[in-house]
Amino acid sequence: MSSDPGLREDSQTSGHEARWEQHNSERRSRILRAAVELLEEAQAGTDVSVRQISARAGLAKSVVYRQFEGREDLDRRIRSHLIDDFSRTLEAGLDTSHGSVEQIIARTIRAVADWMADHPRLDEFARTGPTHEGPADVDAVTSLKLRMSQRARDVLTSIADQLGVDTDDGIFDTLPFAVVTMVEGTLTHWVHDPDPTRSREQIVDELTTLTRYVLDGAIRSVGLSVDPRMELTDLIAQLSARDA
């Protein structure tokens, strides 16, 4: 064991900094959770003040200001918190380890419909500005659309690679963003319709069918034909064995 006082002091300082950073991280999470709760409770179009957030978090207002660089920074981090949380739900929907193509599409679209319909104030707030990490001219919902488009593109490319399918024509680059934009735009219209003619289950079913048609067309363009009701893992194994 080293007896160097300088090394012991550096170790103690490093440990103190790590504990302090963890303490600050926990406070930031507490503040962000409080802000989300208040946004959920607020009336449409009303602001949630720093005073309300600090009171809900059980902290002094000065503590909130010390954790962030100002109200704009706080708002951007709230949006990041929302989008990261929602992204985890969507990632679960896009899990290709279980379910048919149709089931994977349906549960992902249902997750979007549920979030938009059940959390209208959070959806509204996410559209008011950028995330902490994103560019200033891109709102949080658009950042999420880009993130999920990239995730869907990665999934499609991975499957195509497993099957040895040539995707150089770029159709799988265009498809994900087109589908994500269609789904988000349609659900936004549905959520804000004061007298919707379709139930949540109906709009999810219709968007699932439309997405399946678009995906089927893209798949056929690269020379494949698939049964969307077949378990995806079995489908990939079947196609791989056929081409072996």
**Local structure of residue 100 (DSSP, 8 states):** B
Q: What is the DSSP letter of 127?
A: T
| Residue pointed to by tokens 């504990």 | 19
pLDDT of residue 190: 97
DSSP letter for 196, please.
Answer: -
From first to last of the 244 residues of the chain, give the pLDDT tens digit.
Answer: 455 665 555 555 566 567 657 868 899 999 999 999 999 999 888 899 999 999 999 999 999 999 999 999 999 999 999 999 999 999 888 898 999 999 999 999 999 999 999 999 999 999 999 999 999 999 999 999 999 999 999 988 888 888 777 777 677 888 999 999 999 999 999 999 999 999 999 999 999 999 999 999 988 888 888 899 999 999 888 888 865 5
**Which residue has 């379709």 as its token pair?**
198
Maximum distance among all Cα pairs of the chain, rounded to whole angstroms? 77
- Specify the pTM: 0.85
pLDDT of residue 243: 56
pLDDT at 240: 81
pLDDT score at 224: 84
d(CA 127, CA 83): 11
Q: Rounded distance, CA 83 to CA 62, Å? A: 26
On the CB side of 105, CA atoms within 13 Å amount to 26
